[in-house]
Structures are given as C-alpha cells and as structure tokens.
Amino acid sequence: MAPALTDLPRLSARNLLKLHGAVSAELRRRGISRSGNNPVADYAEGLVAKRLRLRLAENSTAGFDAVDGRGRRFEIKARRETPSSKATMLSAIRAIEKRHFDFLIAVIFNEDYTVRRAVQLPYATVRRLARFRRHVNGSVLMIRDLWDAKGARDLTAKLAEGV
C-alpha cells in the first residue's frame, strides 16, 4: 500500500524512487501515460484527445499527435510550471517547414497538473511565431506570444472542466 502524501517527507530516497516507478507504471496501465517518460506530454495528449474528441496517433508518428474526424492533424505541446521552473517556451518542433500538423495546441499545467491555460493555433501562426534554434535542432515558441496571436482559440475552459 502506498503511503499517504503527508508521509512522503519520511520516506527514504530509495523508497521515493520506488514509489515514482510504481506511479509511472500505474499511469501507463490506466492509459494516462503512453511511455515511461515524464507524464506531462502524455497526459496533455490524452486530455486534449478526450476533450476535443481526437484520435491519438501512434507514438512513433512524426510531427503530430492526434487527428480529428476531418483528418486535421494536431501537434500537442505541454509544460508544467513549478515554483522552481516557470514555463517560458515550448519544446522544439522538428522540421516545421514540412507542415506535419494543421494546428498546434499548447497546454500549460500548474504544479498539480490542473490546466492553467490552453490555446489552439493554426499552422500559419505557429510558423510565423516559431524561431529556429540550432542547439535543439528545431523551432521553438515563446509561451507569452501564444495567447493573443492571430487565430488563437482559447481552450482553457474546455480542457480544465472536470479535471
């Protein structure tokens, strides 16, 4: 049986890591996470797909994460803010010029995984706002630029409901 959250400070580092592994496995078993990696991206993809009625692409699909009933492709990016890490940019978009997606959805989570903000942007807007960064071999978006960008659609309420 897992300890109560209030017991966490009393656990050894080894037991905290064991608990982390068990939580990762359970998130995968429940379909919340699709990999053993940090669950932020997987959780965002699942949440967006469920709320917007999208079909998730296979994990190895390059350039987009989900598709709607009309065949439109969605790239989903997410960040989780913590007191020690404020989200300023999204992870790199590889080969943006190949137009692998039609829309990008950005989700910013609070530390407790509640949705702080979410927005959908058309590809043309993403292409205009993105800046290539050689050190990550991709194009990045500054989060502050997304909310009022041309064609931005606020999805915060839609994604935050019932979470």
pLDDT in tens, 96-155: 999 999 999 999 999 999 999 999 999 999 999 999 999 999 999 999 999 999 999 999
Contact 33, 44 (CB under 8 A): no
Segment 21-39 mean pLDDT: 83
Contact 56, 31 (CB under 8 A): no
Q: Quick one: 121 and 141 in the same domain?
A: yes
Q: Quick one: 9 and 64 in the same domain?
A: no
Q: Quick one: 13 and 67 in the same domain?
A: no
Contact 44, 51 (CB under 8 A): no
pLDDT band at 87 (very low <50, low <70, confident <90, very high): confident
Q: Please give the Cα distance from 122 to 144 (Å, whole number).
A: 16
Q: Quick one: 80 and 127 in the same domain?
A: yes
Segment 67-72 mean pLDDT: 98
Question: Which domain range does residue 130 map to?
Answer: 40-160
pLDDT at 1 over 60: no
pLDDT value of position 49: 96
User: Tokens for 98?
Assistant: 């190949």
The answer to the question of residue 24 being in a domain is yes
pTM of the model: 0.87
The answer to the question of residue 35 being in a domain is no
Q: Quick one: 70 and 109 in the same domain?
A: yes
Q: How many domains is the chain partitioned into structurally?
A: 2
5-9, 11-15, 77-81: least confidently modelled range: 5-9
pLDDT value of position 149: 96
In tens, the pLDDT along 38-69 reads 789 999 999 999 999 999 999 878 899 999 99
DSSP 3: P
